[in-house]
Structures are given as C-alpha cells and as structure tokens.
Chain A
Amino acid sequence: MMNQLFFLAQAESGLSSTVWTYIFVTITFMVYLYIGWSSRVKESSEFYVAGHGVPAIANGAATAADWMSAASFLGMAGLISTMGSDGSIFLLGWTGGYVLLALLLAPYLRKFGQYTVPDFVAKRYYSETARVVAALCAVFVSLTYVAGQMQGVGIVFARFLEVSKTTGVIIGMVIVGFFAVLGGMKGITWTQVVQYGVLIVAFLIPTIWFTGMMTDTSIPQVGFITGDVHTAVNLIHKDLGFDEYTKPFASRSKMNVLLMMFALMAGTAGLPHVIVRFYTVSSVRAARYSAGWALLFIALLYTAAPVLSLFARSNILETLHKAEIVGYETLDGNRYDKLDQLKADAPTAYEDKDFIYKLEAIVVDEKTKKEVHVPVDWINSWQANKLIVFDDTDGDGVIQMNKVPKTKERPSGYQDVPYFHNDILVIAAPEAGGMPNWVIAIVATGGLAAALSTAAGLLLVISSSMAHDLYIHFFEPDAPEHRRILVGRIMIIFGIIIAGYFGIVEIGFIAEVVAIAFGLAAASFFPVIFLGIFDKRCNREGAVSGMIVGILFTAGYILACETHDILPFMFKEPLMEPWLKGLGALEGYEFFKGGISPQGIGTIGCLLNFIVAIVVSRLTPAPPEEIQQLVEDVRIPRGSHDPEAHFDETDAGADNP
C-alpha cells in the first residue's frame, strides 16, 4: 500500500529512485553473473591466482576495485565530511601504502610466485609453524575487513529496499556469498574490472554535478581550489561552534594522525587480499606497473572524495540548520501537525520513535531575493531506518545543528540531530543536492559494486588461508582438485557468517572498522614480508615471534580499549583507557591529546614486530644456505617465467604496457 502510493506520487516526475535502483542493480548483477559463469574455474591455480595471466592495466583496475571497498566509497567521504582536514589520514594512508607496496613488496612477491601470502611466509621462513601463524593472521585481518563491507551493503539495502539495517546485512551476506562461491579468482578478476568501471562512474557523476552546481567549473579537483565553498563551510562551522573545516588536528591529535596514517599505509602494503593480486600478473615488470595503474585508478576516486565531502557538508548544513518542522508522520503514513497529537493517537509509535519529522528548509531565492520554503524529503527514508534521528530538544519547532558534547545518547554532536550515521553521506548526497532519481540509483549501484568486489576478494583470502594453508596442508595433503575447491567454498560461507555478525553488531563506522583491520595487517604481515626480502639474515624464529607479538599486542590493545563495542552483551565499559591519555590532558602536551587511539596502535605493533624479528633472528642460527639463495633469487626479476611459478605461456604477449 505504502509502496503503491509512493510510486503514484512519483509518476509525474519519471521513475522513482527505488525503481531506477532495481533496474541498475539487476543489469549490473546480470553482467557480474555472466562473467562469473563464463570464467568459472575447475583448477585451483585458477581459483586462487587466475593462472598468473592477467595484463597489468586490467590487474590495476581489478586491484583498484578490490581495494576500494564500501569504506572508500561510502565510509570515507562521510568521515572526511565530519573530520574536515583530518580526513587526510584516510586519503593519504590508503594511497601512500601503494608506494610501499610497489617499491618494497609487489615485484618480489610476484617473482616468488606462489598462491598465498602464508605460502611465501612458509617457504621463506622454512617453517610450517610460520605458515599457520600467517594463515591465522590473514583470516583474522580479512574477517575484520569483510565486517566493514557487510555494514556498507546493509546500509545500501536498508535505504532502497526499505528494510532495517540488520535485514540489509543479511541480504548482503547471501548475495556476496553467492558471487564469491561461484567465481574464484579468475571470475573475480574480470568481474572486478567491470565493477571498477561501475563504481568510479557512480562516484564521479554526483561529484561532478555538485562541482558544477557550486563552482564555476565541472572538474571536481579544479573546483576544489577555485571555488569558495570551504570559506562558506568554515563560516557555518564557526557559527555552530565547530572548529573550522580546514583546520588540522581538530578531531585527532598530531600524534594520532601520524600513527593512524602509517598504520593504514603499512596495512595497505600488508593486506593479503591486495598482495595476492600481484601474484596474478604475468611478470615482475607487470607487477610494478600494475601497482602504478592501480593507484592511478584509485586516485581518480580519492581526489574526488574530499571534494564531495566538502560540498555535501555545505549542502547538508545549509538545508538542515534552521529548517522548520512542519509536521510529524508515523511510518504507516498518518500525518500530525503537533507532536502531542501523535503521542495521543499512536503512543507506541511515539515511544519507539517510529515516526519521522517533516522538515522545510528556508532558502533565499537567487532571483527574487525572497525566502522560500522547500520541503526536505531526502531525510524521510533515512529516518524510517533510524540512520538519521531528529529530536527538537528545546521545542521551538526549528532544527538547530549547534555543536553539543558527544554522549552515548547523542553520538553525532549536533543539538537537534542526536544521531547522524556518517556512512549514508555518499548515498544521501545526490538526493540532498536535488539530483535526478537515476543519479541516486547509480550511486547505490556503485556502493554495492564497491562492497561486493572487496568482500569477494577478502572471502577468497579467507577461503585460501583456511582451505589451502590450513586444512589441505595439515589434514588432507593429497586431496583431489575438486575437493580442494569444495573446502575453499565451504570456508567462504563460514567467513560470511562471522563477518555478518560483526556487520550487524557494528563496532564503529565502516571506515573505522576497516582501519582496525589495517592496523592488524600492519602489525603482522608488513614487517615479516619486508624483512623476508630485504634482510637475508632474518630467520624462522624471528619471523614467527615477530608476527605473534605484533598481532597479539595490536589486537589486545584494540580489544581492551573497545571491549564495550566488540562484545556489547558482556561489557558495558572498556577494560582499559588509551595509553598516554593522562599525558595528553596536560597543558602543553596537545601532541598526545586523547592518548594512542586503537586505530593508530598498528604502527606501534608494526614497530614491535620489526624489533622482535630482528633481535630474535640475531640471537638464533642463520637461515639455511638454500633459503639465503632463495632471497638472492627473489631480488632479481630474471627467471620469473619458470614452470613452478605457474606461468601461463599463452598469456605472455598480454604483458603490457
């Protein structure tokens, strides 16, 4: 009934955004399915590394899609929008890591040429214990990361299918699982190339639209520096009591910005699902270029994201602040002028906050210079899902966005908007900016592409670590091909269920959850792989103890500081205050303000891993002669085409540029 009315109302102005979303999502899913089906795999080398035959540019685009997840597409712009200048942590952390990857890891790992990161660790450190530790780290890191994706998928479905976020996450689990189980790496690679196209178009269209609307040019990166939007936003921020948008270190101390940025960088370079991408190219040379292409493709979105954040911030503050409340509506469509009437008529809806505020923004008409009232409709569906919550605290009938202290009841920090879910920004922006319905639908489709492509890559790592590195290796070493793939697929389902749980519990906003996964990767893989290539003397004992110390320290610190969010049914308070918090509170020590945040602890874990690995390996015997020879061999490109590197001869010519 509700839906029918909705469609009728939209009939005059073309198709509704929900219908457009169904159309786009159906078309893109059919394309993904077609690719997945036509390149379905029967051999495990294809399942895991696509037979090592992917050209550099294609691999770059696939890496970009694999990499740019719901965190980049949905979460990051929302966070930058509220963090302002400090949002650069995410922008630089997630792009700077590619420099480390391209210079320090990717070419050598390709030369080494195996299936998984634990394979490298096991062989380089001549130890099956090292393999187990690395495989467990890979599973742990990837699960944390998938949880963030599930949350993103949940939000997109919550908006467009008009269901709760939990239902949205469950629908997402089914779809992600379906694609990941079907394809394996070969299907994933070509699907991801298409998904890159979808997500970049979906992100750039609204950004270009906003740029054209708010500045003299249509190129976002140019409009960013020539426009005056930031001055306007700085002014509103001042009015409302927030720090200026362009002022650095407003939301995080200098120390935490440095720590978080490095943790994200080293984490990027150490993430198993990104590293494994460089096993799929045809040569060492292709691995180097591939990293460059990947970053170029990523940079297209990453340089547009801060522009969208700024413009959306301006737009949202200008429409919501001082907006008038013109009525209240229950979810079944009954409208009331006064809150008291709603309370008397529908007491349960009132108690459960199952009603929405109808707002009208007051805008000055450019031509007539008169104030006009414009209904703000984009907030309605978000209110129904409780991802935006209004509360007219002073009862003056006007929404105030003034800064108030953040509390558990009012996590947003706005006076009359106690809850504003950051992750909706990119999806909501086109609607808030009055763009046509098809643009809104394209953005939703892009968000799904971003979350799906990354979740698929991550699930593959989970599956390969569990099946290839743990199960097959220890329980059934001579399992036939079809059985290996079957075990891999079972592990994917297992991974989805755990990730789904964390997607529903919601530890933080998408980008924050994902940042924790990076800390874990930075503290476990980056040092061990780096030393494996650059320090010939590093041995088994050093690597194993380094990884264990790094990941346990980092995970322990995060768990202790965020106990109440990770296990909400067991703990009400965190077990521990962040370190150095006391020092940061002192006069003159603003550098340390707030202590070491759990999202930056990966840097310390990474450092500990390095120290432990180097010290322990100097106190224990040097690695055997053939391992030292292996390291020498990995350092030079010649010979990467030999048979045990699983090189596919037919694709040799596809190597470019």
Chain B
Amino acid sequence: MIDKTIIHEMANWVRLRLTPEEEESMAKEFSETLKWINDEMITKELEGVKPMPSVIEGTIPSFEDKVTDGNYPETVTSCSEHTVDGFFTVPKMVE
C-alpha cells in the first residue's frame, strides 16, 4: 500500500509538490495500479529470467581519448538568463 507520506517523499525527490488532497488521491490511484501490476505481471514465470533494461545488449562503443568538443563557453551559457562572468548562477547553496 502506498500512503500519502510516500507520495509526498517521491514528489520531493523529483522537486515537485502536491496538495494534501492530491497526495491522498494519487496514493489511492497508485496503490490500485500497483495491485493491478502485481496481479498481472509479477508471476512465477519471471524466476531465473535475465532482466532486459535495453534491447541493445552488445558491447558499448567507445571513443579515442581526444579533445574534440567544448571550448565554446559563450554558447554553453547563452541559453541561460542567469549567468555572471561566465558562471551559471543559482540561489546560494548552503554547505
């Protein structure tokens, strides 16, 4: 069972917020979905099956160790309105 505390925490993890009512209804809806998934998908058949997180299962391609990119600081910062002296700026991070 998913309760609204879990929903609240999940929202916080992805930096989103819900009203208490939304948390309540989402918890209910999600619990039902998980039940449906449990009934439908979680079967004995899955035992011993290798997970397939991607259909690409061959080896990763790789690059030579050469500098071929970067060196355009103006462009990299051009899409942000929040820059000073070539730095991106954010509200003060407290250590």
Report if A and B associate in a common complex.
Answer: no
A interface vs B, CB < 8 Å? none
